[in-house]
Structures are given as structure tokens and as C-alpha cells.
Amino acid sequence: MVSSPENVEYVDFGFEGSETDYPLSRDEYRASLIGAFQMAFNESPYGENFDFETMQSFLDETEEKDYLGRIALVDNNVVGFAWGYRIESGMSSDFPDEIFSPETELSEGDSYYFEELGVLPDYRGQGIGKELKRQELQGVKQREDISKGFMRTQYNGERLEGLELPDGYETGENGNERKLGLDVDLGFEPVEVEGGPVIEEVNLEGTEGSDERIYMCREV
């Protein structure tokens, strides 16, 4: 198993100094996270293009939610990030109808959405992403008002040889196999409704393309 490098520091995701040693209310810290986010998702296998203004709005919206997460730092610069939020009343409309059907046992109020996880290309394959997700998951487990978590990740419907995944959870040869394996290792399984996984077609930010995302969940 790949372990996280010793020179990586992990801090709470937050906007004020009372929440974290790396408050995103400081312009230089916010810019470092935005830059890392852009670099992480501009590269393969994602290929998205988030401009600075879009990211500013995205973070402003996140600040208004009941969020949790962690940031990975090297020399006080962001190299990885993971965050999400508790699903509150009215938020279920942001997701496919099947996600909050009785069959999934997900519901507003006690479900948590693992929204983002990214690592700079030069730091991938060193266990940073898995450690970020593990620490975020530990934070969610400490919440008495959350019983189940879910997420979505890239999926393109073809099997990748050598990657052991649950039935209905497959990826293509140019797909997101490292992230998929990480999610499975941390106990996530496909959200299934009527015997099949819930898959959503998502438009890629800043491009004219789209791809499929599969929803995953686990008890916390």
C-alpha cells in the first residue's frame, strides 16, 4: 500500500482562522486552493477548465453549506483537497431523482455528499488522495446527525482489466481507475436502484464535452 509522504501537512478545510490553520478568507490561501483545483481537474482523466471567477463563486457557495473537509499542503501550498457537505432541506433537487428514492436509504438531513477530491498531477500515486478522503470520512463519522455518505465519480462503462470492482462498477482504459480503486478501498459501493447503478451524464466545465459519473455510497 502506498503511504502519504512525510512532508505533507493536512489541515481542516475552512474559511476562518477559528476553523483551520489555513483559512480561505486569506486571499493567498484561497488562490492556492483555486490554482490546485484548476490544475487537478484540467489534467487527464478529467479534462475540465474551471476559470478563477467560477471557482470564487463555487467556494462562496460552499461556505454557506454545512461543510467538512481537509487540505493537503507542501511548503504551505495546496497539493490536494477533499471536501463535501451535509444535504439539507431542498438540496435533493440537485441530484438525480433515484438518489433519494426509498431504495437507497439516502435522505435530506442525515446524508453527506463527498463533493470534491483532487491531487496535483505531480503528487498522485503517493497516497495523498486516499489519506484526504480517509480523514474527511473520519470527520463525517464524528457527526451524530449524519448516517450515510455518497459521492459521484467518473465512469465510462467499459471494464478495465486487473481492477477488482463491484458488479456494475467498471471503467475504461483511459478512465479514472486510481480514484475508483480508492473509493472501493474506503468502503464505497455503487448506489443501485432497480438492480442497476445510478449513472448521470455530466457536462464538463469549460468545454463542450460530457462524460458519465457513477454514484457511490456507504454508511458512516
- pLDDT, tens only, 21-48: 999 999 999 999 999 999 998 876 677 8
pLDDT of residue 164: 47
pLDDT at residue 156 tops 60: no
More confident residue, 151 or 181: 151
More confident residue, 163 or 181: 181
- pLDDT, tens only, 107-124: 999 999 999 999 999 999
Residue corresponding to grid cell 465519480? 153
Amino acid identity at 186: L
More confident residue, 209 or 128: 128
Residue corresponding to grid cell 456507504? 218
Average pLDDT on 12-18 reads: 96
Average pLDDT on 180-206 reads: 85
Average pLDDT on 60-64 reads: 97
Q: Spell out a b/e string for 32-52, using b for 16 or more CB atoms within 10 Å of the CB, else e.
A: bbbebbbbbbeeebbebebee
CB contact set of 138 (below 8 Å; sequence gap of 6+): none
- pLDDT, tens only, 64-92: 999 999 999 999 999 999 999 999 999 99
Domain range summary for the chain, segments of one domain joined by +: 9-219
pLDDT of residue 180: 67
Q: What is the CA radius of gyration of the chain?
A: 17
Q: Which of the following CATH numbers is that of domain 9-219: 3.30.470.10, 3.40.630.30, 3.30.365.10, 2.60.120.10?
A: 3.40.630.30
| Phi and psi based region of residue 17 (left: phi greater than 0; alpha: psi -120 to 50; beta: remaining) | alpha
pLDDT of residue 154: 78
Q: Please give the model's pTM, rounded to 2 decimal places.
A: 0.87
